[in-house]
Amino acid sequence: MKRRPWSVIVVACFFVVAGAAGIVYHLPEWKAVPALGSREMWAVVVRLLAILCGIFMLLGKDWARWLAVVWLAYHVVLSAFHTRFELIFHAVLLVVFAYVLFRPAATGYFQSVQKEITSV
């Protein structure tokens, strides 16, 4: 298996930390177990997706990097309804992370893991 690039490690850890921090930050708002379909439950699902993206990127799963980019794109859309700073911040993160996750070193890593799995 090809070595995991540092850039992938950094981005994956960012997703894990961002997801966990989001859950911890919003814990006080959840007085009881939120009802399925509620806004709070959706917030938990979105943050769990971030954690899963990070973990599975570290494991070399190609779908996880695609999901991470979609996750960030979703935040860009959400940020359009908030402050201009949030919109710019999430848009810059999207561009930087997409570049990092799809540059040749990262692509080679994800492809090498995929080839290893299919050859077994």
The DSSP annotation for 72-116 comes to HHHHHHHHTTS-HHHHHHHHHHHHHHHHHHHSHHHHHHHHHHHHH
pLDDT of res. 21 = 95
34 found inside a domain: yes
Note whether 69 and 58 are within 8 A (CB): no
pLDDT in tens, the chain (120 residues): 578 899 999 999 999 999 999 988 877 776 655 555 577 778 888 999 999 999 999 999 999 999 999 999 999 999 999 999 999 999 999 999 999 999 999 999 998 866 666 655
Residue 101 domain-assigned? yes
Instruction: Determine, yes or no, domain membership for 1.
Output: no
Domain span including residue 56 = 6-119
10 is a domain residue? yes
Q: Which residue has the tokens 């080839």?
A: 115
Asked whether residue 15 is assigned to any structural domain, the reply reads yes
CB within 8 Å of 64: residues ≥ 6 apart:
52, 53, 54, 55, 56, 57
Residue 71 resides in a domain? yes
Core vs surface per residue 73-95: b (16+ CB within 10 A) or e:
eebbeebeeeeeeebeebbebbe
Residue 64 lies in a domain: yes
Determine, yes or no, domain membership for 73. Answer: yes
Number of structural domains found in the chain? 1
Query: Which tokens in the block code for residue 100?
Result: 């990092």
